[in-house]
Amino acid sequence: MFYPTNTNAHNLPHDPFKACVAPRPIGWISTLSAGGVANIAPYSFFNGVASDPPQVMYATSGNQPHGPKDTVTNIRETGEFVVNVATWDLRDAMNTTSLPVGPEEDEFALAGLSQAPSQLVKPPRIAQSPINMECRLVDIIDLLSKDPLLPNTMVLGHVVGIHIDEKILTDGAIDNTKLKLISRLGYKDYACVDKVFSMSRPGGGDKLAGL
């Protein structure tokens, strides 16, 4: 089958696009409002985009009933955020933080999560998450949007510090069988990474990648 995306005439019960770009890592982002209210939300239009210096992106679409999504508003106001890794054990808490609550509500309390202090930025980390990346805003870029009232926006951040819980390491490397991160597929589906295989890159590629 083929369908053009301008009409979205796929004749399927649900839009398949997100299932075609999967699995997507979940950037579980904690921020602080200018007034100091802590906010958390999951974003699966998220990825790392460079490693030296390390940089990440996430994209936010549409608005909340009260206006733009709190995460992007807070980042615009403070220039800082923390990306926390979502794991199998934290899946319900992650989902709870996707609720469209008002900017006055502390989402750590809402999801039963605890705050851990960051070292280089003000927003707190999610204490229960085994990996937290402290980020400073690099740029906010408008993406194509069909409706100017429902904008698509990309946020780029410089990862200035990384916390790793040593419990998820084996021989000094992050062990995915211990981490059990979750990622987003299409529809209501998720994947949990608990099986891993390795391949060496041809032509000295491993050396280039620093391995």
Please give the residue ranges that form the binding site for ligand FMN (CB under 6 A): 26, 39, 41-45, 59-61, 64, 69-71, 95, 98-100, 184
| Closest distance to ligand FMN from the beta carbon of 76 (Å) | 12
Residue closer to ligand FMN (CB basis): 125 or 184? 184
| Closest distance to ligand FMN from the beta carbon of 201 (Å) | 30
DSSP string, the chain: ----TTTT---SSS--HHHHS-SEE-EEEEEE-TT--EEEEEESSEEEEEETTEEEEEEEESEETTEE-HHHHHHHHHSEEEEEE-BGGGHHHHHHTTS---TTS-HHHHHT--EE--SSSSSPEETT-SEEEEEEEEEEEEPP-SSTTS-EEEEEEEEEEEEE-GGGEETTEE-HHHH-BEEE-STT-EEE-------PPTTTHHHHTT-
Residue closer to ligand FMN (CB basis): 95 or 145? 95
Residue closer to ligand FMN (CB basis): 14 or 201? 14
Residue closer to ligand FMN (CB basis): 9 or 143? 143
| Closest distance to ligand FMN from the beta carbon of 172 (Å) | 30
| Closest distance to ligand FMN from the beta carbon of 108 (Å) | 12
